[in-house]
Amino acid sequence: MKTIELKHAGQYLNAALYEPSCAAGEKYPLVLFLHGAGERGENIEKVLDFTPGADTFMNSAWQKEHPCFVLAPQCPDNQSWVPYIELLARTLYTLPREYPIDECRIYVTGVSMGGAGTWALLTTCPQRIAAAMPVCGYADPFAVRAARHVPVWAFHAVDDPVVPYTGAYHSPHGARGVGTRMVVSSLRSAGNRDVHYTAYPAGYMEKTWHTHPHGAWAAAYRDEAALAWLFSKTRRDRYEAEMICPGVYYIEDFNDDSMYLVEGREKALLIDTGLGDGDPLAFAQTLTTLPIELAVTHAHLDHMRHSHRFPQFYMSKKDLPLVSRVQDAFPENTSTAAQVIDIQDGDVIDLGGVEIEVAEVGGHTPGTVVFIDRAHKCLFTGDALGLWMQVPMALPLSTYRENLLRLQEKLAQPGYTELAFLGGHRRQEGGVHPGEPYVPNSYEKMEDMLVLCEKLIAGEIKGEPYPVNFGEPAFAASYKTANMVYKESVRR
């Protein structure tokens, strides 16, 4: 056990961090425990002495079966977790860079004020949390709908006189919300089908656990089924979906890989498959009753890992040399060249009343394409505006620029001028460095990317060294909204 300091934007929190016995090359779950109002202050021992709480996951019996990291921050006196939610959310991103933490198995739990903090974290960064156990907390019932894809098991005693299990609540810390029962109802109505609620009946906490009715944690953290459920969850096989417009769905996996499902009258088209451990075809079949075909923007593993699930699929055959790299990483992908329906500039995939037009934008890979859906006013760009040009088989910037110019000319024509740009990594759109602002793909970014190419080729912009490379030094450069990682061999 050691004490660390969490910092962000001028804020800081003291925290206790328990580290399991780590084997080389292995990664382990992280449990974030948020205490209640009674443990606030500057003495971290108050948090560690609270039981059952963080100790549930640190004791030797649990660690023997489920080795994990446990992070227990301490909220300052007279404060609540609300002002520190952004700091805690950022910690869930930064801590796995410093310790062998499995980013797909981050669990959040807390009691009372910490239960409210758990709900607030679910609202702020649901895509980072594998599952949560809020105990006798409260939340904004509308904001929490952002967690409609996150597994949750909540606990509350119905006779809790401190935080009501249902109905409105105004805490002495200034926050407002509703009790657990109504929060769970809101999540279910938002579409969450893996949200559970244990309501302890009146008198149960006093009679069975000899504690105040507010102390639901006495029972919750001894619920073996709930704890096993929590640790069974992983983001690795989870998919999230939302409707862009009628007939178009956005699908996201744990790796921030974006897929899209487009419906016509006769069939649907899945654009890319992502890198998740689940089955994207089976998931897409929950969104449509139409037969589904696959179109691949380019042959990188985070876009075609699951192409073998389809008897045939659309892809530029210029990318066939890259397929072996996918199969090296995922031997179950047995896709062959015979399964590839070659697509070229100007080809159309007819879904019945919805035509998907192909435009070649080779650069990121030789066969990179984008798909244009004028019926739904969507442009599916994959990684064509991403843009990673330090990867194997990336084309010279001069060639990429020419291809991008052709796309720009096409998009200037009537019928192409009001498209939504939908990228291959929607959550990552923006800069190449962590923390840079979100900048969605757009006509403007395309224009700026053309200027960036020109300036890099002319040597007017020089990039800074970038750590992710493939045997040749890589550099990061930007111009207005456009960002690129490149290597010298493609710049010249």
Residue type, 235: R
Last-in-domain residue among 232, 258, 287: 232
Q: Are residues 106 and 246 in the same domain?
A: no
pLDDT exceeds 70 at position 188: yes
Residue 448: both structure tokens together: 């700026």
Q: Are residues 172 and 301 in the same domain?
A: no
Last-in-domain residue among 203, 232, 261: 232
- Tell me the C-alpha distance between 322 and 401, whole Å: 22
Q: Are residues 218 and 271 in the same domain?
A: no
pLDDT exceeds 50 at position 171: yes
The CATH number of whichever domain residue 417 belongs to comes to 3.60.15.10
- Tell me the C-alpha distance between 372 and 55, whole Å: 54
Q: Are residues 276 and 180 in the same domain?
A: no
pLDDT exceeds 60 at position 67: yes
Dihedral sign of CA atoms 125, 131, 134, 139 in order: positive
Q: Are residues 110 and 46 in the same domain?
A: yes
Q: What percent of the chain has pLDDT over 70?
A: 98
The CATH number of whichever domain residue 76 belongs to comes to 3.40.50.1820
282-301 tens-digit pLDDT: 999 999 999 999 999 999 99
- Tell me the C-alpha distance between 296 and 307, whole Å: 8
Confidence band, pLDDT 50/70/90 cuts, at residue 134: very high
pLDDT exceeds 80 at position 434: no
Q: Are residues 150 and 254 in the same domain?
A: no
The residue range of the domain holding 463 is 240-491
Length of the chain: 492
Q: Are residues 177 and 90 in the same domain?
A: yes
- Tell me the C-alpha distance between 184 and 165, whole Å: 11
Last-in-domain residue among 232, 264, 280: 232
Q: Are residues 170 and 110 in the same domain?
A: yes
Share the mean pLDDT of the chain: 95
250-261 tens-digit pLDDT: 999 999 999 999
In order, the DSSP letters of 177-188 are: EEEHHHHHHHHH
Residue 38: both structure tokens together: 């009674």
Confidence band, pLDDT 50/70/90 cuts, at residue 179: very high
Q: What is the mean pLDDT of residues 83-99?
A: 95
CA proximity to 95, closest of 77, 72, 123: 72
Q: Are residues 283 and 148 in the same domain?
A: no
Q: Are residues 19 and 147 in the same domain?
A: yes
Q: Are residues 78 and 157 in the same domain?
A: yes
Residue type, 359: A
Q: What is the mean pLDDT of residues 158-176?
A: 90
Domain count for the chain: 2
Confidence band, pLDDT 50/70/90 cuts, at residue 153: very high
Q: Are residues 69 and 213 in the same domain?
A: yes
For helices 443-458 and 397-411, give the axis angle rounded to 10 degrees: 150
Residues in contact with 221: Cβ distance below 8 Å, sequence separation at least 6, in sequence order: 52, 53, 56, 135, 227
473-488 tens-digit pLDDT: 999 999 999 999 999 9
